[in-house]
Amino acid sequence: MRYLINNLDLVGELFLQHLQLTLIVLFFALIIGIPLGVVLARVKWLQGPIMGILGIIYTIPSLSFFVLLIPVFGLGTTPAIVALTAYAQLLLVRNWLVGLTSIDPAVLEAARGMGMSSWQRFWQVEFPLALPMLLVGVRLVVLSSIGIGTIAAFINAGGLGVLLFEGVITANYNKIFSGAVAVTVLSLTANYGIRTFERRAERSIHGAQVNH
């Protein structure tokens, strides 16, 4: 605990680095995953192969994935972001796809029959109705990126993993402890924050029931 207090600057900086890495990963994951999910929801036969590929990527052990990417992207945050974004796709797309495909077909037919363009159908109907499941995906992506992100310190990507690795090498248990506490705080806070959004989104699609 003393280490944590004495080195609050360092831990804080690593904490922010870790958070930054996670947010960058989330950003790219969403940019790729949202359109991918929409395509899969419409082109059903692609679901099997694409989800299969995402599943295989997810099974690659993280350390070896990071190392494999070093020849292409060098050391640092880039290979970490690439690997974490690749992992994130399975978690994000699977949930987002469930959200999109579980919308009542009658609702979609009504939307079509009323003359909404496909763009209007997406933004006014599909997106809000599938949002709670998208947020489930987001939460899993954030939590897994925080977790696996600690290992990225091994390839110089920074973050709270630095404390863990250095602590192990120098047998500094205080350092390990501080790193672990910081990662846990980050995870729990993220989990709680995103859950709040999820609940709010769920409430909005189930009507005002909860408010009464």
Partner 1 sequence: MTYAYSKIKESRVTQSGEILFEDVSKTFESEAVSAVDGVSLQVAAGDLVVFLGPSGSGKTTLLKMVNRLYEPTSGKIWIGDEDIQSLSINDLRRQIGYVIQQVGLFPHMTVKKNISVVPRLLDWEKDQIQSRVAMLLDLTGLPDTYLERYPNQLSGGEQQRVGLARALAADPDILLMDEPFAALDAINRERLQKELLRLHCKLDKIILFVTHDVEEALLLADKIAVLRDGKLIQYDTPIDLVTKPKNAFVEELVGTNNILRRLSLVSIESIIKAKGRLLDKPITMDQAMVEIPTIHSDADLRSALSLLLSSGSDYLRVEDSFGTDQGLISMEDLREMLSSNQLIEKKKCDEISD
Residues that bind partner 1 (CB under 8 A): 104, 106-117, 120, 124-125, 128-129, 204-209, 212
**Residue 87 token pair:** 């992992």
Cβ of residue 32: shortest distance to partner 1, in angstroms? 26
Q: Which is nearer to partner 1, 68 or 205 (CB)?
A: 205
Q: Which is nearer to partner 1, 59 or 211 (CB)?
A: 211
**Residue 120 token pair:** 């209007």
CB 39 within 8 A of CB 143: no
Q: Which is nearer to partner 1, 9 or 104 (CB)?
A: 104
Beta strand ranges found along the chain (DSSP E):
none
**Residue 124 token pair:** 């006014």
Cβ of residue 124: shortest distance to partner 1, in angstroms? 8
Cβ of residue 31: shortest distance to partner 1, in angstroms? 25
Cβ of residue 39: shortest distance to partner 1, in angstroms? 22
Q: Which is nearer to partner 1, 58 or 127 (CB)?
A: 127
* Nearest alpha carbon to residue 179 among 212, 150, 208, 156: 150
Burial of 114 (0-12, 13-18, 19+ CB in 10 A): exposed
